[in-house]
Chains A and B, each alone.
Chain A
Amino acid sequence: MAGSEGRTEQPQGGESGPGRRQFLRTLSGAFLGIWALGGAGALAAYMRAPEEDHSSTDRIVRIGKLDELRIGEARLVRHGVSPFFVIRTGSESVIALSAVCTHVRCILDYDHERRGLVCPCHDGRFDLNGNVVSGPPPRALPTYEVSTRAGEVFVRV
């Protein structure tokens, strides 16, 4: 619209007319552009859902009494979108590793006999260090730090 108007009208203000008009047009374009960018930014910021496990208290998960976990037993901790296994491997040693297969995010099962994790989807297998033993998973499982205080097990996720 503005373009055709500029062409049909005769510039009235002498020699500075077309230049000034062009300048104003660029300025308004830039102005609107900045507004559009700002709007897009605000929209994107709004659309970004707040992370669920953000607060620091959430980062340490209390699992329960050490005594309640039998040696060789694994417990699936239903922790938000990143569930993990807590496995007691010896009388004092407890490990924690992600229960989400790195292939297409199926939830792993604990294989008691082979002491590893096995995926129900495409039979991917992991050892207790999280390394891929066989199958399609492309990456090792993340492992989490476990601490025991006063007979209680905590996992830092």
Chain B
Amino acid sequence: MSTLPKAAPATSRWDRAIDWVDDRVNLSELFSFLTHFGLIYTPIDTKRPLRDVLHQVRTTPLESYARWPHILGLLTALLFGLEAVSGILLAFYYQPTTLSAYDSTRSIVRDVMLGWLVHHVHMWGSYLLCGVVLVRMLRLFWDGLYKAPREILWFSAVGLAWLVIQLDFTGLLLPWDVKSYWAAQRGLEIVWSLPIVGPLFSTLVGGRTMSEDVLNRFYVLHIIVLPLMYLGFVYLTFATMRRVGLSRIAGAVPKLTTFRRHVSDLIVITLLLFAGLVTLATLMPYQFHGAADPYQTPKGTLPPWYMLAPYALFQLPIPRWIPGLGLLAVALALPFLPAIVKGAGERLDEKRLRMAGLGVFGLWLVLSVLGALVDRK
């Protein structure tokens, strides 16, 4: 304990104020919250006073994750933060009922001051988040970062990817726009085809077809349940990182930076990200197509992009549960990839595995393109 550096005695008012509070509340414990959610990952001793802890954090050099390729993980957390903030703002005006969902979304975009910005940033953020979790999974797979001791990191990467997809799916329906309504309806059909999980899911969301219930439950899932689970996985990700450290290419020496540099990097990245989102939101805003009419299907609606592959299989004259089972098998196999690889032992060398993964990914891409062409007639 005594070897740890101590902060200088309190001189300014500010220091004294901190000490005053710290004597009454364990501020270090509160601060350690930030370490759990990724700002820093220097291990800290929460029994020490906050100013000592801060001093220690400030003076310990660390390996910054604000760099490629670690930045992918950072972005999954940062974008989530932006989505949370814009989402909360949207919830101030949005009304999840079949009668007013469309109008309230419209009015956020049209009438509320800067409402369009919040809405479109939220939308673009979700697109980026989908892309980021996907690329991150590919890169973790490619670099073999599911192997011991990183199994849990891989597990939570897959968990985050599934959650992002579910968040996107539940969020898609909320504007109750023609396109989003029918896309979500298609999606429900695909979810329904999953053996066992499908019926369970539709019990959870209140039915196989769209209704007031489904809209309301999608809303609850979208704004409370799924985000909380997401936070859980973000925590798990940073927790594994504190234990097993950042990944690095074999033989490379860790590049250490100062804490100050790390924080300024984080700030710059956040600002750039926000600026990028604002630019996208301004240049390519969300297109409204009119309120959904449950009794009229427009031509050429597609399910959301991550469901295009099973959707392509739906056009084949085979029972639904076959693509459903395939999808479920992939979904369940993915988090357990480390165990599967370990079980296969020597038979699977790195190269073959990579090729197999690439093959699956390629197949998925091809099927998705086919699925996208289904409705284009």
Q: CB within 8 Å of B: which residues of A? A: 44, 47-49, 52, 76, 78, 80-81, 83, 99, 103-107, 120-123, 136, 138
4 tightest Cβ-Cβ pairs between the two chains A and B: A106-B297, A49-B206, A81-B209, A49-B213
A44-B203, A47-B203, A81-B211 known; A107+B377 contact, CB < 8 A? no
Interface of B is mostly: loop
Q: Spell out B's residues near A (CB within 8 Å).
A: 182, 185-186, 189, 203-204, 206-207, 209-211, 213, 294-299, 301, 314-315, 317, 319-320, 374-375, 377
For A99, the chain B residues whose CB sits under 8 A away are 295
* Chain A residues, CB < 8 A from B211: 52, 80-81
B206 CB contacts on chain A under 8 angstroms: 49
* Known contacts A81-B210, A104-B189, A121 near B315 by CB under 8 Å: no
Q: Are A120 and B299 in contact (CB under 8 A)?
A: yes
Interface of A is mostly: loop
B207:A49 contact, CB within 8 angstroms: yes
A13–B297 CA distance with the chains assembled, in angstroms: 75
Contacts of B294 in A (CB 8 A): 78, 81, 83, 107
Contact of A48 among B203, B299, B315 (CB under 8 A): B203
Q: Which of B182, B209, B317, B375 touches A122 (beta carbons < 8 Å)?
A: B375
B284 to chain A, nearest CB (A): 27
Closest Cβ–Cβ distance, residue A103 to chain B (whole Å): 8
Contacts of B296 in A (CB 8 A): 107
- Complex contacts, B301 vs chain A, CB 8 Å: 121
* A47 contact from B182, B204, B319, B375, Cβ within 8 A: B204
A123: B residues at CB distance < 8 A: 377
User: CA–CA, A136 to B182, complex, Å?
Assistant: 18
Q: Kindly list chain A residues whose C-beta atoms are within 8 Å of the C-beta of B377.
A: 122-123
Select from chain B the residue with minimum beta-carbon distance to A79. Answer: B295
A105 to B214 alpha-carbon distance, docked (Å): 16
Flag if B185 contacts A105 (CB, 8 Å).
Answer: yes
- CB-nearest residue of chain A relative to B375? A121
A25 to B317 alpha-carbon distance, docked (Å): 54
Q: A47-B204, A78-B295, A123-B377 are in contact. Are A104 and B314 (CB under 8 A)?
A: yes
6 contacts between A and B (CB under 8 A): A48-B203, A80-B211, A81-B210, A107-B296, A122-B375, A138-B320
Instruction: Report the Cα distance A122→B316, complex, angstroms.
Output: 12
A123 to B297, CA, bound (A): 12
- Nearest-Cβ distance from residue A102 to partner chain B, whole angstroms: 11
Given A120-B298, A121-B375, A123-B377, the answer on whether A105 and B209 have CB atoms closer than 8 Å is yes
Instruction: State the CA gap A103–B211 with chains docked (Å).
Output: 19
Residue of chain A at shortest CB distance from B216: A49
Inter-chain pairs besides A80-B211, A83-B295, 13 sampled, C-beta below 8 Å: A47-B204, A78-B295, A81-B207, A99-B295, A104-B189, A104-B314, A106-B297, A107-B294, A107-B296, A107-B297, A120-B297, A122-B375, A136-B317
